Amino acid sequence: MEQVNDDTLAGAGKVIAVHVNYPSRAAQRGRTPELPSYFLKPSSSLAVSGSTVERPAGCELLGYEGEIALIIGAPARHVSIADAWSHVRWVTASNDLGVYDLRYADKGSNLRSKGGDGFTPVGPGLLPADEVDPAALRIRTWHNGNLVQDDTTADLLFPFARLIADLSQLLTLEEGDIILTGTPAGASVAHPGDAVEIEVSTTAAGAGLSTGRLRTTVLEGTTAFADFGARPKTDDHQREEAYGSRAAAGLAESAETAPVLTPELKAKLESVATATLSSQLRKRGLNNVSIDGLQATRPDKRIVGLARTLRYVPNREDLFKTHGAGFNAQKRAIDSVNPGEILVMEARGEKGTGTIGDILAMRAQVRGAAAIITDGGVRDFSAVAAMDMPTYYANPHPAVLGRRHIPWDTDITIACGGTTVQPGDIIVADSDGILVIPPAVAADLVEDCIEQEKEETFILEMVSQGNSVDGLYPLNPEWRARYTDWAAGRESVQGND
């Protein structure tokens, strides 16, 4: 197998990097691009396997990102997607290193933050592009021997051929140019003394091709930045970005990032009926907070989760061509739903086509979605109904999405089943129906619900003993005094258990 050497590095006139391309990374960042976007790295940032890289003096956050690198073998200008892969000669591993401490100074160019000497190691082995399937490659990264990234190219947001064709619309990709194709989730921060290794291999059975591990060791820089240019600075936001999450960065949740639906609040909401929640919402003046007219594939299940939203607009053939194909809003929503979230779809109550089918429903279930709610139709109904994840729907329908809908946008305020749903609203559903709870009222609301259900337990017990509901339901002063004694005795018994 041929290896990356100094001639490989010298032949790279351009190094072009893609911002976000793996669904796992998009989900981690909380944003999924509709189109690919790029930045340039200087060819002087290239290095071979076994090299060292300095974390610049005064910097804290040297981020590493395992990536698959494509090396152009024949000039490409105005090439089609079908022809694009023929312009690639080699595939290898790369590490898109950068210091988050200087991101503020780049205004989006990434020149200083990602352009340092040694910030783009590539290699060691070169896989012949004509011997690999670009949709069947695996990228893995090890940090000090621990596997931290492991993903494949099977479901990229933008397949490699599309990147090449897209870039070739405006510039000539020349022989030797290198394209870094994005990193999956798991990228993090390396410190002086750490070693980062990256390997690209084939996933196709029997092929068994591998680049070997691209190894880079981090050193501490000793030359301080001069005061005539931007100097390193960072904050908790950059730490969160560099490490991938506040928890990974060792940061406590802030008021802005603290989860709205804590495990404690979720457990309490799961313990009370939607009928009780509805009555307490009404007492707060919230009457139009139910999603109406839908059926459930799993009416036996009670679900509680945060809303993610997707909006369909009526089909118009010219717009469907631009918004309906490829990695459209529907697929982006499905592929970015997080564990425990509920995907709520606005389909305008249109029953004449499907809005979700078995494949995308399965993808949502695998990603950990708590449920799907649509006020439109469901395709492949038997398969969707057999899933453990509940789906709430208007009706089964065999037609494909494009008959009546264009998937338009995600994570916006929508209308579903006669009410308004915003991203981050709390959804509670059981066999009685589906409620949308504003997060700001949820904590106080559920406490009142718990108290109401305790009262209703007492009332039901009294009615079962033969008492009239007159004065008992609702409680008059006499019955409330008896209820207070009953509740105190119950708590005393529970306290002794």
The two beta strands, 15-18 and 88-95, are: unpaired
- Across 194-214, average pLDDT: 88
Which residues, at least 6 apart from 397, have a Cβ–Cβ distance to it below 8 Å? 351, 352, 353, 354, 377, 378, 379
Tell me how far apart the alpha carbons of residues 486 and 339 are, in angstroms, rounded to a whole number.
Answer: 41
Q: Note whether 119 and 98 are within 8 A (CB).
A: yes
Which residues, at least 6 apart from 283, have a Cβ–Cβ distance to it below 8 Å? 448
Tell me how far apart the alpha carbons of residues 154 and 355 are, in angstroms, rounded to a whole number.
Answer: 24
Q: Note whether 57 and 75 are within 8 A (CB).
A: no
Amino acid in position 320:
F
Tell me how far apart the alpha carbons of residues 40 and 19 are, in angstroms, rounded to a whole number.
Answer: 10
Feature table: binding site for Mg(2+)? 380
Which of 96, 93, 95, 72 shows the shortest CA–CA distance to 84?
Answer: 72
For helices 329-336 and 358-366, what crossing angle results, to 10°? 30
What local confidence, expressed as pLDDT, does residue 332 receive? Answer: 86
Feature table: binding site for substrate? 357-360, 379
For helices 439-464 and 263-271, what crossing angle results, to 10°? 30
Q: Kindly list the distances between the CA atom of residue 362 and the CA atoms of 326, 351, 424, in Å, as whole numbers in the listed order.
A: 19, 22, 23
Q: How many CB atoms lie within 10 A of CB 314?
A: 11
- Across 82-103, average pLDDT: 96
- Residue-by-residue DSSP string for 271-291: HS-HHHHHHHHHHTT--S-EE
372 SS3 class: strand
Q: Which of 24-28, 189-193, 251-255 has the lowest average pLDDT?
A: 251-255
Tell me how far apart the alpha carbons of residues 335 and 326 are, in angstroms, rounded to a whole number.
Answer: 13
Q: Which residue has the tokens 């969707």?
A: 384
Both tokens of 107, joined, read 């205004």
Feature table: binding site? 357-360, 379-380
Domains parsed from the chain with CATH numbers: 6-243 (3.90.850.10), 287-437 (3.50.30.40)
Which of 211, 214, 180 shows the shortest CA–CA distance to 197?
Answer: 214
**What's the chain's average pLDDT?**
92
Sign for the CA dihedral angle at 331, 382, 312, 437 comes to negative
Q: Note whether 114 and 198 are within 8 A (CB).
A: no
Q: Which residue has the tokens 């940061």?
A: 251
Give the rounded percent of residues in the chain with a pLDDT score beyond 90. Answer: 78
Both tokens of 160, joined, read 């490699």
Tell me how far apart the alpha carbons of residues 306 and 381 are, in angstroms, rounded to a whole number.
Answer: 25
Q: What is the pLDDT of residues 305-350, one digit of tens each?
A: 999 999 999 999 989 988 888 778 898 899 888 899 999 999 999 9
Tell me how far apart the alpha carbons of residues 262 and 267 are, in angstroms, rounded to a whole number.
Answer: 9
Q: What is the pLDDT of residues 97-149, one digit of tens each?
A: 999 999 988 877 899 999 999 999 999 999 999 999 999 999 999 999 999 99
C-alpha of 118 from chain center: 31
pTM, two decimals, is 0.65
Q: Which residue has the tokens 């290898």?
A: 92
Tell me how far apart the alpha carbons of residues 57 and 41 are, in angstroms, rounded to a whole number.
Answer: 21
**What Rg do the C-alpha atoms of the chain give, in angstroms?**
28
What local confidence, expressed as pLDDT, does residue 108 receive? Answer: 73
What local confidence, expressed as pLDDT, does residue 489 receive? Answer: 81
What local confidence, expressed as pLDDT, does residue 254 receive? Answer: 59
